[in-house]
Structure 1
Protein backbone atom coordinates (compact mmCIF):
# COMPACT_ATOMS: atom_id res chain seq x y z
CA UNK A 1 0.00 0.00 0.00
CA UNK A 2 1.28 3.46 -0.90
CA UNK A 3 1.74 5.92 1.98
CA UNK A 4 -0.40 9.05 1.78
CA UNK A 5 1.53 12.28 2.20
CA UNK A 6 0.33 15.63 3.47
CA UNK A 7 0.17 18.52 0.94
CA UNK A 8 1.15 22.07 1.90
CA UNK A 9 0.77 25.22 -0.16
CA UNK A 10 3.71 27.61 0.02
CA UNK A 11 3.18 31.36 0.29
CA UNK A 12 4.39 31.70 -3.30
CA UNK A 13 1.83 29.14 -4.50
CA UNK A 14 -0.96 31.06 -2.73
CA UNK A 15 0.23 34.31 -4.38
CA UNK A 16 0.22 32.53 -7.74
CA UNK A 17 -3.39 31.45 -7.18
CA UNK A 18 -4.35 35.06 -6.44
CA UNK A 19 -2.60 36.20 -9.65
CA UNK A 20 -4.39 33.51 -11.65
CA UNK A 21 -7.73 34.57 -10.18
CA UNK A 22 -7.07 38.21 -11.23
CA UNK A 23 -5.80 37.09 -14.64
CA UNK A 24 -8.94 35.04 -15.30
CA UNK A 25 -11.22 37.83 -14.05
CA UNK A 26 -9.48 40.26 -16.43
CA UNK A 27 -9.95 37.73 -19.23
CA UNK A 28 -13.67 37.61 -18.33
CA UNK A 29 -13.44 33.93 -17.37
CA UNK A 30 -13.87 33.92 -13.58
CA UNK A 31 -15.60 30.50 -13.70
CA UNK A 32 -12.29 29.05 -14.92
CA UNK A 33 -10.81 29.77 -11.48
CA UNK A 34 -13.48 27.61 -9.84
CA UNK A 35 -12.65 24.88 -12.35
CA UNK A 36 -8.97 25.16 -11.39
CA UNK A 37 -9.78 24.84 -7.68
CA UNK A 38 -11.98 21.81 -8.39
CA UNK A 39 -9.18 20.18 -10.39
CA UNK A 40 -6.60 20.89 -7.69
CA UNK A 41 -8.80 19.49 -4.92
CA UNK A 42 -10.34 16.61 -6.87
CA UNK A 43 -7.44 15.33 -8.95
CA UNK A 44 -4.05 16.97 -8.54
CA UNK A 45 -3.70 16.98 -4.75
CA UNK A 46 -5.06 13.43 -4.31
CA UNK A 47 -2.64 12.21 -7.01
CA UNK A 48 0.34 13.91 -5.39
CA UNK A 49 -0.60 12.61 -1.93
CA UNK A 50 -0.37 9.04 -3.20
CA UNK A 51 2.25 9.34 -5.95
CA UNK A 52 4.54 12.27 -5.11
CA UNK A 53 7.25 11.28 -7.59
CA UNK A 54 4.83 11.18 -10.53
CA UNK A 55 5.88 14.52 -12.03
CA UNK A 56 8.92 14.80 -14.24
CA UNK A 57 12.07 16.43 -12.92
CA UNK A 58 12.16 20.15 -13.60
CA UNK A 59 15.89 20.50 -12.92
CA UNK A 60 16.89 17.69 -15.29
CA UNK A 61 16.61 20.14 -18.17
CA UNK A 62 20.04 21.40 -19.17
CA UNK A 63 20.83 24.98 -18.20
CA UNK A 64 21.46 27.14 -21.24
CA UNK A 65 23.50 29.79 -19.45
CA UNK A 66 25.93 30.15 -16.58
CA UNK A 67 23.20 31.90 -14.58
CA UNK A 68 20.72 29.06 -15.15
CA UNK A 69 23.24 26.40 -14.11
CA UNK A 70 24.15 28.41 -11.00
CA UNK A 71 20.49 28.77 -10.03
CA UNK A 72 19.88 25.06 -10.60
CA UNK A 73 22.82 24.18 -8.34
CA UNK A 74 21.61 26.58 -5.64
CA UNK A 75 18.05 25.21 -5.80
CA UNK A 76 19.29 21.64 -5.63
CA UNK A 77 21.36 22.44 -2.52
CA UNK A 78 18.40 24.18 -0.84
CA UNK A 79 16.07 21.30 -1.61
CA UNK A 80 18.33 18.70 0.01
CA UNK A 81 16.97 19.79 3.41
CA UNK A 82 13.29 19.19 2.61
CA UNK A 83 12.99 17.12 -0.55
CA UNK A 84 13.46 13.37 -0.54
CA UNK A 85 15.02 13.33 -4.00
CA UNK A 86 16.34 16.91 -4.02
CA UNK A 87 14.16 17.67 -7.01
CA UNK A 88 11.60 20.15 -8.17
CA UNK A 89 8.99 18.26 -10.13
CA UNK A 90 6.43 19.52 -12.58
CA UNK A 91 2.82 18.44 -12.85
CA UNK A 92 1.43 19.39 -16.24
CA UNK A 93 -2.29 20.15 -16.26
CA UNK A 94 -4.44 21.04 -19.27
CA UNK A 95 -3.96 24.81 -18.82
CA UNK A 96 -1.47 25.06 -15.97
CA UNK A 97 2.05 24.10 -14.99
CA UNK A 98 2.50 23.28 -11.31
CA UNK A 99 5.91 22.98 -9.64
CA UNK A 100 6.32 21.02 -6.42
CA UNK A 101 8.78 19.11 -4.29
CA UNK A 102 8.28 16.47 -1.64
CA UNK A 103 9.84 15.07 1.49
CA UNK A 104 9.11 11.79 3.26
CA UNK A 105 5.80 13.02 4.70
CA UNK A 106 4.89 16.21 2.83
CA UNK A 107 4.38 17.49 -0.71
CA UNK A 108 5.09 21.22 -1.03
CA UNK A 109 3.26 23.06 -3.84
CA UNK A 110 5.76 25.71 -4.95
CA UNK A 111 4.31 27.48 -7.98
CA UNK A 112 1.48 27.38 -10.50
CA UNK A 113 1.01 29.34 -13.72
CA UNK A 114 -1.64 29.42 -16.40
CA UNK A 115 -0.11 28.72 -19.80
CA UNK A 116 -1.36 32.08 -21.12
CA UNK A 117 0.33 33.92 -18.24
CA UNK A 118 3.65 32.99 -19.78
CA UNK A 119 3.16 35.36 -22.71
CA UNK A 120 4.04 39.02 -22.97
CA UNK A 121 1.46 41.75 -22.35
CA UNK A 122 2.76 44.48 -24.66
CA UNK A 123 -0.21 46.74 -23.96
CA UNK A 124 0.68 46.85 -20.28
CA UNK A 125 4.36 47.38 -21.10
CA UNK A 126 3.87 50.31 -23.47
CA UNK A 127 0.46 51.64 -22.51
CA UNK A 128 -1.98 52.80 -25.19
CA UNK A 129 0.54 54.25 -27.68
Structure 2
Protein backbone atom coordinates (compact mmCIF):
# COMPACT_ATOMS: atom_id res chain seq x y z
CA UNK A 1 0.00 0.00 0.00
CA UNK A 2 1.30 3.48 -0.80
CA UNK A 3 2.73 5.43 2.17
CA UNK A 4 0.41 8.39 1.50
CA UNK A 5 -2.71 6.25 1.45
CA UNK A 6 -5.57 7.26 3.75
CA UNK A 7 -6.66 3.65 4.35
CA UNK A 8 -5.15 2.32 7.61
CA UNK A 9 -3.29 -0.97 7.51
CA UNK A 10 -4.96 -4.05 9.03
CA UNK A 11 -3.00 -3.90 12.28
CA UNK A 12 -3.93 -0.27 12.89
CA UNK A 13 -7.58 -0.94 12.07
CA UNK A 14 -7.60 -3.99 14.36
CA UNK A 15 -6.07 -1.98 17.19
CA UNK A 16 -8.68 0.75 16.72
CA UNK A 17 -11.54 -1.75 16.83
CA UNK A 18 -10.14 -3.47 19.94
CA UNK A 19 -9.57 -0.16 21.71
CA UNK A 20 -13.09 1.04 20.88
CA UNK A 21 -14.57 -2.27 22.05
CA UNK A 22 -12.61 -1.97 25.29
CA UNK A 23 -13.66 1.63 25.94
CA UNK A 24 -17.31 0.79 25.29
CA UNK A 25 -17.25 -2.29 27.53
CA UNK A 26 -17.71 -5.00 24.89
CA UNK A 27 -14.47 -6.97 25.24
CA UNK A 28 -11.20 -6.85 27.13
CA UNK A 29 -8.03 -8.74 26.44
CA UNK A 30 -7.86 -11.75 28.78
CA UNK A 31 -5.67 -11.12 31.83
CA UNK A 32 -5.31 -7.50 30.68
CA UNK A 33 -4.08 -6.23 34.04
CA UNK A 34 -1.21 -8.75 33.85
CA UNK A 35 -0.13 -7.78 30.36
CA UNK A 36 -2.80 -9.66 28.46
CA UNK A 37 -3.05 -13.10 26.93
CA UNK A 38 -2.59 -12.95 23.18
CA UNK A 39 -5.56 -13.71 20.93
CA UNK A 40 -8.03 -14.24 23.77
CA UNK A 41 -10.66 -11.85 24.99
CA UNK A 42 -13.15 -11.68 27.85
CA UNK A 43 -16.60 -10.14 27.54
CA UNK A 44 -17.15 -6.86 29.34
CA UNK A 45 -20.51 -5.73 30.78
CA UNK A 46 -21.97 -4.69 27.41
CA UNK A 47 -20.43 -7.66 25.61
CA UNK A 48 -22.06 -10.08 28.04
CA UNK A 49 -25.45 -8.51 27.35
CA UNK A 50 -24.90 -8.64 23.59
CA UNK A 51 -23.79 -12.28 23.77
CA UNK A 52 -26.82 -13.19 25.89
CA UNK A 53 -29.19 -11.47 23.45
CA UNK A 54 -27.66 -13.28 20.46
CA UNK A 55 -27.92 -16.64 22.25
CA UNK A 56 -31.52 -15.96 23.28
CA UNK A 57 -32.50 -14.99 19.72
CA UNK A 58 -30.83 -18.08 18.30
CA UNK A 59 -32.47 -20.33 20.92
CA UNK A 60 -35.88 -18.82 20.20
CA UNK A 61 -35.58 -19.23 16.43
CA UNK A 62 -33.90 -22.64 16.35
CA UNK A 63 -35.52 -24.40 19.33
CA UNK A 64 -38.60 -22.70 20.79
CA UNK A 65 -40.27 -21.74 17.49
CA UNK A 66 -40.00 -25.28 16.10
CA UNK A 67 -42.21 -28.23 16.92
CA UNK A 68 -39.63 -30.81 15.84
CA UNK A 69 -36.76 -29.64 18.08
CA UNK A 70 -36.28 -29.86 21.84
CA UNK A 71 -33.50 -28.39 23.90
CA UNK A 72 -31.14 -30.40 26.07
CA UNK A 73 -28.01 -29.51 28.00
CA UNK A 74 -25.78 -32.59 28.00
CA UNK A 75 -22.39 -33.18 29.54
CA UNK A 76 -19.40 -33.14 27.21
CA UNK A 77 -17.72 -35.76 29.38
CA UNK A 78 -18.78 -39.29 28.50
CA UNK A 79 -17.72 -42.79 29.48
CA UNK A 80 -15.61 -44.75 26.96
CA UNK A 81 -18.62 -46.91 26.03
CA UNK A 82 -20.30 -43.86 24.44
CA UNK A 83 -17.23 -43.05 22.32
CA UNK A 84 -16.92 -46.72 21.33
CA UNK A 85 -20.59 -46.99 20.33
CA UNK A 86 -20.45 -43.78 18.28
CA UNK A 87 -17.43 -45.00 16.31
CA UNK A 88 -15.14 -42.24 17.48
CA UNK A 89 -12.51 -44.59 18.90
CA UNK A 90 -12.34 -46.83 15.82
CA UNK A 91 -12.74 -44.26 13.04
CA UNK A 92 -10.93 -41.10 14.09
CA UNK A 93 -7.19 -40.59 14.31
CA UNK A 94 -4.71 -37.76 13.97
CA UNK A 95 -1.58 -38.96 12.15
CA UNK A 96 1.51 -37.14 13.42
CA UNK A 97 4.76 -36.27 11.66
CA UNK A 98 8.10 -35.17 13.10
CA UNK A 99 10.35 -32.48 11.64
CA UNK A 100 13.78 -33.98 11.04
CA UNK A 101 15.39 -30.54 11.39
CA UNK A 102 13.94 -29.28 14.68
CA UNK A 103 12.22 -32.36 16.13
CA UNK A 104 8.80 -30.69 16.41
CA UNK A 105 5.75 -32.96 16.17
CA UNK A 106 2.67 -31.81 14.23
CA UNK A 107 -0.64 -33.19 13.05
CA UNK A 108 -0.30 -34.13 9.40
CA UNK A 109 -3.53 -32.39 8.35
CA UNK A 110 -2.38 -29.10 9.94
CA UNK A 111 1.17 -29.24 8.59
CA UNK A 112 0.78 -26.51 5.98
CA UNK A 113 -1.02 -24.03 8.24
CA UNK A 114 0.87 -24.48 11.52
CA UNK A 115 4.48 -24.92 10.48
CA UNK A 116 7.12 -22.87 8.71
CA UNK A 117 7.72 -23.69 5.06
CA UNK A 118 9.99 -26.72 4.90
CA UNK A 119 10.93 -29.20 2.24
CA UNK A 120 8.64 -32.22 2.18
CA UNK A 121 11.58 -34.56 2.66
CA UNK A 122 12.36 -32.99 6.04
CA UNK A 123 9.23 -34.57 7.55
CA UNK A 124 9.08 -38.13 8.82
CA UNK A 125 6.18 -40.18 10.18
CA UNK A 126 6.18 -40.01 13.93
CA UNK A 127 6.99 -43.18 15.88
CA UNK A 128 3.81 -42.37 17.80
CA UNK A 129 1.52 -42.52 14.78
CA UNK A 130 -1.69 -41.12 16.24
CA UNK A 131 -2.67 -38.82 19.03
CA UNK A 132 -5.67 -39.43 21.24
CA UNK A 133 -8.82 -37.67 20.13
Whether these two folds match at TM > 0.5 is: no
TM-score, scaled relative to structure 2? 0.21
TM-score, scaled relative to structure 1? 0.22
- Larger relative contact order, structure 1 or 2 (CA cutoff 8 Å, min sep 6): 1
Larger Rg, first or second structure (1 or 2): 2
